């Protein structure tokens, strides 16, 4: 069974509705569980046309998430991927319809059309004023004279346009006309890398969409799409989807250069907000540069899902003055995003602020002093060792964290290698350190890595600074000690807490002790490297009291060295090797 959060399969829909209703003051429901699952707006204005939509569950936040002033008056839910019964739709009509009448907004699926249509006919027979609009916005499949296009995420645009018309006090005929116009002006298409799995069911084995594959044009119930092929980069996928929606051959949506549109970027369930933003970026760029249209509004998130499907859909709504105002109109519906206004044609980037060091550091000198050559050798040796150790460090980190220690340090090392070859003032220890600090602050996000790289930068200067241009051994020995003391002060950790300090502190003590005994820098560094390795190994048996490891059960830490401590041992060892 696919891993899901629910109590009983048979209760998942009703408990979901109960949770939604309990979370929003204006929502309530009809007392008809389990057969009648209807969410209504308890604050609805009886002098306005009522709007009802719905369909099978599993598409949340559709449809109940769009109940609220300015959108739907009621939403009727069926079981997962099952059309709601006629009696439930009829109950909703009776509950929310007053003298102005009701508009039913129905996605184009046979069950929904039949059940909503029959309920509407019965309601008319009882004296209610009822109209119905059917939305078929899917542009993936060829025209069909019988079934027509499927209704998918673009239906949400119709909810919003019709809801704004109703809230403005228009009569039923005008609200119907606004909804029909919006339905004829919207086109959508979806793509996925996996189909959905029903609650309580086993995922298909083998899966319909295999590893490295994608399916274009599939429906929101997992119906097979128009085509299947290898997974492409997002830019290429978005290009195919937009070309299909705006195709002159199908003529589904007549988008002309210079038109204004609203864009809906919809997660189909498992697609993360990060991925949705990547898709939105690609769509905005291509609509502007390739299709030559103006995107006046963009909405990105989960609007009409398909359980846990990994995929997205794009919807375009052609805008006129009325539809633009309708999208901007206020609504109480919890799933509709807050109004953000018109998108500007261009956005000016804010210049990056510079600290005191900006402009003080010259670039790489044309010729290096002996000190500059020594610093270059040290930096390149350490960077090479860190890059080589990245897979090992990631593997260690994946056992206690998110597995990015090595990858993050590798990015920092690669940035430093670039700086060494292009912009680092290697002959000036102070300027070089400032330049490195600037580079690393912009590159590193893993806890304490910027401190760690600054520390080994200080050390590389002193230990290889035997030339007259370099600082004295005593100076850099003091700097190393001061840097470790600062790290202790700001991190809140101490030796024995299972952090990088358990390698760094022994290394600093060993280095300072060797210098005090009159040892040469290379010998002092070897002693420091050995101490760092011993300290890193000792973390295998330590209980974590600081850092991310402190949140991990002790049993999972046993026999695993701290990744940060192991990284210290790596770069200390590299320095020892290059000086020897």
| Residues designated as active site | 221
Rounded to whole angstroms, what are the CA distances from 366 to 223, 362, 377, 423, 530? 65, 11, 16, 11, 36
Do residues 397 and 353 touch, judged by C-beta distance below 8 A?
no
Do residues 74 and 67 touch, judged by C-beta distance below 8 A?
yes
Give the H/E segment covering residue 73. Answer: none
Instruction: Determine phi and psi for 260, rounding to 5 degrees.
Output: -105, 135
- Show Cβ contacts of residue 203 under 8 Å, excluding neighbours closer than 6 positions: 2, 197
Q: 186-194 and 310-318 as β-strands: parallel, antiparallel, unpaired?
A: antiparallel
d(C-alpha 117, C-alpha 94), whole Å:
15
d(C-alpha 157, C-alpha 182), whole Å:
7
For residue 175, give both structure tokens: 């609200």
d(C-alpha 252, C-alpha 150), whole Å:
12
Do residues 278 and 265 touch, judged by C-beta distance below 8 A?
no
- Nearest Cα to 524, choosing from 509, 502, 504? 509
Instruction: Determine phi and psi for 138, rounding to 5 degrees.
Output: -75, 120
Helix (H, G, I), strand (E, B) or coil at 261: strand
Do residues 209 and 195 touch, judged by C-beta distance below 8 A?
yes
- For tokens 């299947």, the residue is 228
Length of the chain as a residue count: 580
């Amino acid at each position: 069974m696919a891993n899901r959060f629910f109590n009983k399969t048979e209760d998942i829909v009703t408990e979901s509705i109960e949770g939604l209703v309990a979370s929003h003051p204006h929502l309530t429901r009809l007392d008809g569980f389990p057969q009648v699952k209807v969410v209504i707006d308890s604050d609805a204005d009886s002098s306005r046309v009522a709007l009802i939509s719905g369909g099978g569950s599993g598409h949340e936040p559709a449809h109940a998430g769009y109940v609220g002033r300015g959108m739907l008056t009621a939403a009727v839910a069926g079981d997962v991927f099952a059309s709601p019964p006629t009696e439930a739709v009829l109950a909703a009509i009776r509950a929310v319809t007053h003298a102005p009448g009701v508009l039913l907004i129905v996605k184009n699926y046979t069950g929904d059309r039949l059940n909503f249509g029959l309920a509407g006919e019965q309601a008319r027979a009882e004296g209610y004023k009822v109209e119905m609009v059917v939305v078929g916005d899917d542009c993936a499949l060829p025209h069909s004279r019988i079934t027509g296009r499927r209704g998918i995420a673009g239906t949400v645009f119709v909810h919003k346009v019709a809801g704004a018309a109703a809230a403005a006090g228009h009569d039923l005929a005008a609200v119907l006309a606004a909804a029909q116009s919006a339905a004829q002006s919207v086109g959508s298409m979806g793509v996925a890398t996996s189909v959905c799995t029903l609650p309580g069911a086993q995922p298909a084995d083998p899966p319909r969409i295999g590893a490295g594959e994608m399916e274009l044009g599939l429906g929101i119930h997992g119906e097979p799409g128009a085509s299947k092929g290898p997974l492409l980069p997002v830019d290429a996928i978005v290009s195919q989807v937009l070309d299909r929606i705006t195709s002159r051959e199908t003529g589904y949506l007549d988008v002309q250069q210079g038109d204004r549109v609203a864009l809906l970027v919809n997660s189909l369930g498992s697609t993360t907000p990060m991925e949705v933003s990547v898709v939105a970026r690609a769509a905005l760029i291509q609509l502007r540069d390739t299709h030559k249209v103006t995107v006046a509004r963009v909405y990105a998130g989960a609007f009409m899902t398909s359980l846990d499907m990994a995929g997205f859909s794009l919807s375009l709504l052609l805008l006129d003055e009325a539809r633009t105002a309708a999208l901007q109109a206020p609504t109480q519906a919890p799933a509709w995003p807050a109004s953000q206004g018109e998108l500007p044609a261009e956005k000016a980037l804010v210049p990056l602020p510079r600290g005191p060091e900006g402009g003080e550091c010259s670039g790489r000198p044309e010729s290096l002093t002996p000190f500059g050559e020594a610093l270059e050798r040290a930096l390149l040796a350490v960077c090479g060792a860190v890059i080589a150790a990245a897979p090992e460090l990631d593997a260690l980190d994946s056992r206690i964290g998110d597995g990015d220690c090595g990858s993050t340090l590798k990015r920092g090392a690669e940035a430093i290698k670039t700086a060494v070859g292009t912009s680092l003032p290697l002959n000036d220890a102070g300027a070089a350190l400032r330049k490195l600090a600037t580079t690393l602050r912009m590159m590193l996000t893993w806890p304490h890595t910027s401190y760690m790289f600054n520390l080994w930068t200080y050390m590389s200067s002193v230990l290889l600074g035997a030339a007259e241009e370099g600082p004295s051994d005593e100076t850099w020995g003091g700097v190393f000690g001061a840097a470790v003391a600062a790290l202790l002060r700001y991190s809140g950790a101490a030796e024995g807490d299972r952090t990088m300090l358990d390698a760094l502190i022994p290394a600093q003590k060993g280095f300072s002790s060797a210098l005090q005994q009159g040892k040469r820098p290379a010998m002092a560094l070897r002693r420091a490297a050995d101490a760092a390795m011993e300290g890193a190994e000792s973390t295998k048996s330590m209980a974590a009291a600081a850092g991310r490891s402190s949140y991990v059960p002790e049993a999972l830490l046993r026999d695993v060295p701290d990744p940060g401590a192991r990284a210290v041992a790596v770069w200390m060892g590299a320095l020892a090797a290059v000086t020897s």
